[in-house]
Structure 1
């Protein structure tokens, strides 16, 4: 069950948390790897590699220290305060909370004028049910429509809708490079 202080956060507060690239990367790593707990050292290694584009073995101590300091002192406490993680500073352990899933949608691009697909499919279902009722009651001009023809029409309409929906969703996905800008 979400904690009340997290559930009451505004979108602006969530976006403030996500306004930093390192915090987005931490969330991305935790969401993609579905870990129960990760140590700070692992996060430092992963983020250092992403940030500098080199293997952790090729990075200098200074480069890794820069990432460590920022995570330890700023970014992980901010994510913990937002409720996305629990951070045990003394042990260097990061544990995702149930609320981390709330951030997933904000890591994806959702346009303001997006089609409300659930309403579209509810409407499509209502039209299909009405059409089925008209055929069943033999109301003209639907009285000559066979069950097979009706089924073909309905399946085709839902299939085309699903294809359009899948294309629309894929079009609006953020690429990994966009996430890390």
Structure 2
């Protein structure tokens, strides 16, 4: 199916897709690995579901996941334009639309509240510091404002680079994000 032939999925369709754990796992793996075979994808998902290494997945566990992917999940993802699937070769690949779903998976990937709190904290610190410099308060006013600007810019840049690096280097040998256990 050509993904250009249809509109992007609605938010409701995306939430419907993500309501199923196997589809979340499939999208998570495809976003990180790129193109793969449905067999390799079934192995990875079966390992996550059974809390074992890919090498330890039994044929029965693999078959259950493979069958569900082939008959239900992959066709649904393909209908919505989230994956391209070649039934002849068994190859499945993400589309441009798949990357849009990453924002939804990111909420599952790590606690969003902690990132939001951090951003609010950096913003509050920046505004407070700007006000202190503008009011020429003691101690703060004694330091060159360019130094404060450099400090805040460095903090924001470091946080952004760290966040981007963490999002792009997920450990796929571990469990997917929504099943990590304490």
Common fold: TM-score over 0.5:
yes
- Higher-Rg structure is 1
Distance 2:178 2:68 in 1: 19
Give the secondary structure class of the aligned counterpart of 2:28: helix
- Change in Cα spacing, 1:65 to 1:176, as seen in structure 2 (3 Å) is closer
Shift of 1:91: 2.7
C-alpha distance in structure 2 between counterparts of 1:155 and 1:56, whole Å: 47
Contact 2:25–2:176 (CA under 8 A) maintained in structure 1: no
SS in 2 for 1:53: coil
Query: Shift of the alpha carbon at 1:10?
Result: 2.4
**Matched residue, 1:46:** 44
Residue 180 of structure 1 and its aligned partner are, at CA, apart by 3.8
2:151 matches 1:156:
yes
Give 1:108 shift.
Answer: 1.2
Deviation track 1:99-146 (CA, whole Å, cap 9, x = no partner) reads: 1110111001256xx58x6xx97xx79x97xxx9x9xxxxx97xxx79
Q: Secondary structure at the match of 1:24?
A: helix
Q: Which residue of 2 aligns with 1:137?
A: none
Aligned to 2:171: none
Distance 1:155 1:73, change over 3 A: same
Q: TM-score, normalised by structure 1?
A: 0.65
1:29-44 paired onto structure 2 within 5 Å: 29-33=29-33, 35=34, 37-44=35-42
Change (3 A) 1:57 1:156: closer
Structure 1 residues 140-155: aligned runs within 5 Å: 149-155=144-150
Partner SS for 2:144: helix
What is the distance in 2 between the residues matched to 1:39 and 1:161?
Answer: 39
C-alpha displacement of 1:157: 3.8
SS in structure 2 opposite 1:27? helix
Please tell me the root mean square deviation across aligned C-alpha atoms, in Å.
3.9
**Is the CA contact 2:84–2:92 (under 8 Å) kept in the aligned structure 1?**
yes
C-alpha contact (below 8 Å) 1:25/1:180 kept by paired residues? no
Does the aligned pair in 1 maintain the 2:31–2:102 contact within 8 Å?
A: yes
**What does residue 72 of structure 1 align with?**
70
User: Is there any run of 5+ residues in structure 2 with no aligned partner, and where?
Assistant: 168-173
1:15 maps to which residue? 15
Change (3 A) 1:30 1:178: closer
Unaligned runs of 5+ in 1: 135-139
| Distance in structure 2 (CA, Å) of the matches to 1:105 and 1:176 | 19
* In structure 2, distance between residues paired with 1:156 and 1:57: 48
